[in-house]
Structure 1
């Protein structure tokens, strides 16, 4: 990875050449522009880490260009003004618009390098802080000493040394995003952004702009793909991409460049892609519901993430890990999980995987009043204790101890299973009964772990 990308905007060829040579000797990648129009074009095609901007230029002066950037969504990065004969008013205006610092002509080599270095560090710190704000605050470190986790950790450590794209396959809640973040932090791209794309959460009418960005007379809006430049793009549940987006994404990844909505010229794309799915993409490809070319682009290295029930020997270690984590992060009282409790939780099925265990520990720390967790409160937290469940309907109890999403999934599974039995195992009949489009219904049944063929055999 390069030290950083610098854009030098100055109408004097000798100044541009001198600064470019000095900065390239320090390991920076340097682009130059002789005026405001050329600077706009360079910025449209790339994402500089620092801009050196001359104040006095023939077409559009540096202050006007700075104002233009500031008014169109904020400055793209730290901007250092180059001034030969600036005034106090000019300095005040540039500072008000967000200029990072000034370098005066004739340029001092020591001052130039120090200012650029500080500006680069300030921009990097800002991006890291913004990334942290977007992150779900969960531990990154893969926890567990079981054989499956040792194998998985070893694979990730080897992959961290390469820029290979990979496809993570595992059940919902198994920790795929946390593993992707850990891989990113171990890789050479760790100073770059980590951007998560959850296709299922993108509004259909705005999904293309959200992914690929927008370019019009009002300026440039970077999409999620471009925001990941220099870092890692995590595609969460990639099977949720609609066919049009699959085609456009495949073409973009193949060329390693994107075209923004409304744009004409391509923008270079330097990203590592980590995709994740809980669905069987082989079957989706065979059924024509997932593009084969995109599947093989993403599946350079397939990585199976085990469900928690496949590594239950890690449960005691995970309980302690999350108890420490929430005690430190949320200042909750630390609680011990005695052997009897550990044993009970080792023998629990964990349908919600790591997410369910993490939520359980947090709930027990919040609601507990004694230093040790006991079996009764564990059973209540799992929904097996008196007072936590209320009978509702024929043969089904609603678990009021679960988060809304998990309770809804629990109900949907029981409801669809019963209706599927009554439909004789026919998904076509079931779709008519429940009022769902068949493709969406198949996806829902897979997500809920309903084996249609098994139901059909039973009937």
Structure 2
């Protein structure tokens, strides 16, 4: 099967309709699976998560509306866009289907032209929703690494060559250097470009629920799809892979060895059809030597190594990066457009950039928010860098009011304390846990309960 083929499930009790719809869709290069009733449809969802479902309303064992309701009430909601089909539907039925989350409602006899158009629109709408979620989680998304230096030009060409071969890649580099950007660029240049790109951060899989996040789970008729299935046909980025605990490493290795996995609570193996890209800022060979990372998993992931240099090694790209982020924040966050003076650009080209490209992005954003005037001077840049670099000493003064319940005061203090530690350690949770005197798993749980985002600080 073509890894970029879109997977569609057709559920209808009439054999002629199933066969006709399957033939039409396969002529358009979709991968199609059919089911003749509700129970078979449930089994199909256990076999593999589809990208779209065409669902008949009137079926003998379980009607389509009941099946749609069952899926919509699941913890994760509908697994994908659902298009309802019916030969004698009513307005009330169509309204109910829409309320339960169906994308559209097609009347039988089916117009094949309308069917194909509706399928295309449903898939496009779903893609846009996922893109918007991604943009809300991390701004901005750079679709191609910015810069004209020989270093970045060479890396871009290297990634284009790697992308053509379906090998796994290990991306290394300092925090903020652009590892995720290159992973996304690799996906965009590959034959899998039209399929999902899923980013699973080490912060998520180190919380003690790695199996569920990676492999998903089954309970009765309810299925939670893990990242390996959400990325089916596409690319899975295991970000900060060195943060995975040993149990998660062992489970992942077993899945990679066999080419399949079991969902938590499941009985049937699910095949793996995904390109894995791992990324880390740590030296995995050293982690292996220290016994913190499995040597066999390291060799699985390190088929093709790709090192992203720190910004201080290609500072000639600083002007292009400054312009890119000014344009981005002006367009997407409606901040006033300003330009960096030649003196400011030269100063920043000679700056050490300990936080790499992420530090540069944050600098541009802060200057555009706080500053005024058409031109950004060197003095303004030096002043802003001076306010960014030092970390303030944590103080209770003005932070926590004593005229409130103890529980609320404690939560405010904990949030401020953990925010401070994240800034101090540049998002390195291992170092933060050591200083805070907490187990890493407990620390992840605490950060999550307080609504503190980890990844943006790395």
- Tell me the TM-score normalised to structure 2 length: 0.80
Residues 1:143 and 2:159 are matched in the alignment: no
| Cα 1:379/1:3, change in 2 over 3 Å | same
Q: Post-superposition shift, 1:405?
A: 5.7
Q: Which residue of 2 aligns with 1:309?
A: 312
CA contact (8 A) 1:124 1:191 kept: no
Q: Post-superposition shift, 1:196?
A: 1.4
Question: Within 2, Cα distance between the matches of 1:389 and 1:52?
Answer: 55
Secondary structure class of the residue paired with 1:289: coil
Instruction: Note the aligned Cα RMSD (angstroms).
Output: 3.2
The correspondence for 2:209, drawn from 206, 209, 212, is: 206
Question: Within 2, Cα distance between the matches of 1:119 and 1:384?
Answer: 48
- Tell me the TM-score normalised to structure 1 length: 0.80
| Cα 1:114/1:336, change in 2 over 3 Å | closer
Residues 1:62 and 2:64 are matched in the alignment: yes
Question: Within 2, Cα distance between the matches of 1:335 and 1:265?
Answer: 58
| Cα 1:50/1:321, change in 2 over 3 Å | closer
Q: Post-superposition shift, 1:434?
A: 9.5
Q: Which residue of 1 aligns with 2:135?
A: 132
Residues 1:327 and 2:330 are matched in the alignment: yes
Q: Post-superposition shift, 1:311?
A: 1.3
Q: Which residue of 2 aligns with 1:162?
A: 165
Question: Within 1, Cα distance between the matches of 2:38 and 2:100?
Answer: 17
Question: Within 1, Cα distance between the matches of 2:46 and 2:341?
Answer: 59
Residues 1:78 and 2:94 are matched in the alignment: no
Q: Which residue of 2 aligns with 1:368?
A: 371
The number of residue pairs the alignment matches comes to 410
Greater shift after overlay, 18-27 or 170-179? 18-27
Greater shift after overlay, 279-288 or 329-338? 329-338
Question: Within 2, Cα distance between the matches of 1:68 and 1:390?
Answer: 52
Q: Which residue of 1 aligns with 2:30?
A: 28
Question: Within 2, Cα distance between the matches of 1:105 and 1:324?
Answer: 50
| Cα 1:325/1:119, change in 2 over 3 Å | closer
Residues 1:100 and 2:103 are matched in the alignment: yes
Secondary structure class of the residue paired with 1:171: coil
After the TM superposition, which residues 261-280 of structure 1 pair with which residues of structure 2 at under 5 Å, given as runs? 261-280=264-283
Q: Post-superposition shift, 1:121?
A: 3.3
| Cα 1:170/1:338, change in 2 over 3 Å | same
Question: Within 1, Cα distance between the matches of 2:94 and 2:315?
Answer: 63
Question: Within 2, Cα distance between the matches of 1:323 and 1:199?
Answer: 30
Q: Post-superposition shift, 1:221?
A: 1.1
Greater shift after overlay, 354-363 or 202-211? 202-211
Secondary structure class of the residue paired with 1:383: helix
Which stretches in structure 2 are left out of the alignment for 5+ residues?
395-418, 440-458
Which stretches in structure 1 are left out of the alignment for 5+ residues?
393-402, 417-430, 438-459
Q: Which residue of 2 aligns with 1:10?
A: 12
After the TM superposition, which residues 249-398 of structure 1 pair with which residues of structure 2 at under 5 Å, given as runs? 249-383=252-386
| Cα 1:135/1:184, change in 2 over 3 Å | farther
Residues 1:244 and 2:212 are matched in the alignment: no
CA deviation map 1:250-290 (0-9, x unaligned):
22233333311111112233222111111111122223221
The correspondence for 1:215, drawn from 215, 218, 241, is: 218
CA contact (8 A) 2:249 2:297 kept: yes
CA contact (8 A) 2:391 2:423 kept: no
Q: Post-superposition shift, 1:55?
A: 2.1
CA contact (8 A) 1:380 1:388 kept: no
Question: Within 1, Cα distance between the matches of 2:115 and 2:330?
Answer: 46
The structure with the largest alpha-carbon Rg is 1
Question: Within 1, Cα distance between the matches of 2:125 and 2:342?
Answer: 49
